[in-house]
């Protein structure tokens, strides 16, 4: 096995440029990952484009923040309604540019709609406080930050763009959205739908471009008050460092290596049946993928017997086919990365995948793996999981926490006390008991350790795009 896999193809950015590199691209070429066919060519934004967009956004933001809260809420709801009218169009676009299954893509477009509706509901509830003080009245206001930069990844282009954009807009900010180089089309279409819904011009602008060019310009621009970034920890650390230079706010979601912990008292049949899609959804290109399946030693062999047919039954193929459960990887680079983690002849449970054009890799569950091996500790970002045995509850917690990441995870047990104890002990921001759910737009989402900084979604999302202003009014003299 290759012990030093190639540098990742980060979900939200590109490796930094170095002296002697080829000049920035002026165009982005979008490929269909299932066929490798050309889908579209999009003009690539440069630093000057970003600068001009910030100027336009700042002007639009001032007018937007001054609008009545009810009017802003109404426009966001209208935006949600327009997205709802175009769910199928957006879904088919996502299938073509990202290789997502049709069912997933429909859910993603619907998630954008639902998040806009949810954020709109918070506009008129974004309230400050009245704090008792001597000699007067003290009140707080939640003021918008100004211009917010959202750098979205290629693995879930639509929903993650909306996770940042919707609450930022609802809180009174303007948004500059930089989509990933491989998946700019749905972002561009959403911006068109925003204008169709009546949102002010330049309030939501999309800047397709290379990470080291458009992304870097956005991160470093003094007129951008906050950056929301989803991608690799390596790129995210660079974003955070650049923002620190000018004390810009950041929210970072930086990946995971999530455990799926199966105790001996669990419903093994249910746990085994659910396990495949917990790491195969979106071909494993999911920061929440449960790629470390930790099984209590006393039921380890029985669990594998149940898991094998469940993996084999997963339908991998044309993402536009309603029956398909898993599509291709995003690119040749990502395919090569995934292959580098799996040694030839490794003991594994395997499914099947198409041959020929497209970036296909079969569902793969490795057994007999050293818990310290790269495939067991690093984010593969593909349809590959490992099964690791554990002895008792303490051993399960130790293994679950034996990674730099801490985004999500699952626990399977019939013991409520154990579920609560282990949930408190596992270092992860999002845990699920007897299921694999991680993300709901009405609950907070984010990670521990190197999985990120801050939280997205949920009832506090709007407040994270504001500054608290305190005002004291004297009542004496």
Which DSSP string corresponds to 263-327? -TTS-HHHHHHHHHHHHHGGGG--TT---EEEEEGGGHHHHHHHHHHHHHT--BS-TTSTT-SB-
Which DSSP string corresponds to 123-149? HTT----EEEETTEEEEEEEEE-SEEE
List Cβ<8 Å contacts ≥24 apart for 338-346.
338/284, 338/380, 338/381, 338/382, 338/383, 338/384, 340/2, 340/5, 340/6, 341/1, 341/2, 341/5, 341/374, 341/375, 341/378, 341/380, 341/382, 341/384, 342/1, 342/366, 342/375, 342/384, 343/1, 346/1
Catalytic residue at 253?
A: yes
Please state, in angstroms and rounded to a whole number, the distance separating the CA atoms of residues 227 and 452.
13
Burial, 196: exposed, middle or buried (Cβ in 10 Å; 0-12, 13-18, 19+)?
Answer: middle
Please state, in angstroms and rounded to a whole number, the distance separating the CA atoms of residues 144 and 268.
49
Distances (CA, A) of 412 to 263, 311, 420, 423, 432: 6, 18, 11, 11, 9
* Cα of 2 vs its chain's centroid, Å: 28
Q: Are 353 and 362 in contact (CB under 8 A)?
A: yes
Catalytic residue at 287?
A: yes
Q: Are 226 and 149 in contact (CB under 8 A)?
A: yes
Provide CB contacts within 8 A for 275, sequence distance 6+: 260, 290, 293, 307, 310, 385
Query: Which residue of the set 94, 210, 253, 456 is catalytic?
Result: 253
Q: Are 154 and 98 in contact (CB under 8 A)?
A: yes
Torsion angles phi and psi, residue 302, rounded to 5:
-65, -40
- Report the Cα–Cα distance between both ends of the chain, in Å, rounded: 79
Provide CB contacts within 8 A for 111, sequence distance 6+: 158, 159, 162, 441
Q: Are 338 and 330 in contact (CB under 8 A)?
A: no
Q: Are 178 and 191 in contact (CB under 8 A)?
A: no
Q: Are 45 and 207 in contact (CB under 8 A)?
A: yes
Please state, in angstroms and rounded to a whole number, the distance separating the CA atoms of residues 162 and 166.
5
CA atoms within 13 A on the CB side of 433: 13
Catalytic residues: 253, 287
């Amino acid at each position: 096995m290759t012990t030093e896999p190639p540098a990742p193809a980060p979900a939200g950015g590109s490796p930094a440029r170095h002296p002697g590199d080829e000049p920035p691209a002026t165009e982005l070429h979008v490929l269909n990952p299932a066929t490798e066919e050309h889908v579209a060519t999009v003009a690539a934004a440069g630093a000057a484009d970003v600068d001009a967009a910030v100027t336009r956004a700042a002007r639009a933001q001032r007018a937007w923040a001054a609008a009545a809260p009810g009017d802003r809420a109404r426009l966001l709801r209208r935006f949600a309604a327009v997205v709802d009218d175009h769910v199928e169009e957006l879904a088919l676009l996502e299938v073509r540019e990202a290789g997502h299954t049709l069912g997933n893509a429909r859910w993603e477009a619907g998630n954008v709609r639902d998040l806009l509706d949810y954020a709109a509901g918070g506009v008129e509830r974004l309230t400050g406080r009245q704090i008792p003080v001597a000699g007067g009245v003290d009140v707080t206001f939640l003021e918008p930050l100004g211009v917010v930069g959202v750098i979205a990844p290629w693995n879930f282009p639509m929903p993650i763009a909306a996770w940042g954009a919707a609450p930022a807009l609802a809180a009174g900010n303007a948004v500059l959205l930089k989509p990933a180089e491989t998946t700019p089309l749905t972002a561009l279409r959403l911006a068109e739908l925003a204008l169709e819904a009546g949102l002010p011009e330049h309030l939501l602008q999309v800047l397709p471009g290379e990470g080291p060019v458009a992304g870097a310009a956005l991160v470093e621009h003094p007129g951008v008050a906050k950056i929301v970034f989803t991608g690799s920890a390596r790129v995210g650390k660079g974003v955070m460092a650049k923002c620190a230079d000018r004390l810009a706010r950041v929210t970072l979601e930086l990946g995971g290596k999530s455990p799926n912990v199966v105790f001996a008292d669990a419903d093994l049949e249910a746990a085994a049946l659910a396990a495949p899609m917990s790491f195969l959804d979106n071909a494993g290109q999911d920061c929440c993928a449960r790629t470390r399946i930790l099984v209590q030693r006393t039921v380890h062999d029985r669990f594998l017997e149940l898991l094998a047919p469940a993996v084999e039954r997963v339908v991998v193929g044309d993402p536009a086919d309603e029956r398909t459960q898993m599509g291709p990887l995003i690119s040749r680079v990502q395919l090569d990365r995934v292959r580098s983690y799996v040694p030839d002849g490794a003991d594994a449970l395997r499914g099947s995948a198409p041959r020929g054009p497209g970036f296909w890799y079969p569902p793969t569950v490795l057994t007999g793996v050293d818990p310290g091996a790269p495939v067991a500790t690093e984010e593969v970002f593909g349809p590959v999981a490992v099964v690791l045995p554990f002895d008792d509850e303490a051993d399960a917690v130790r293994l679950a926490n034996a990674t730099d990441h801490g985004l999500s995870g699952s626990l399977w047990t019939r013991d409520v006390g154990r579920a609560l104890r282990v949930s408190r002990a596992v270092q992860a921001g999002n845990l699920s008991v007897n299921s694999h759910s991680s993300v709901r737009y009405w609950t907070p989402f984010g990670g521990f350790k190197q999985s990120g900084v801050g939280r997205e979604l949920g009832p506090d999302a709007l407040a994270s795009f504001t500054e608290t202003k305190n005002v004291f009014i004297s009542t004496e003299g």
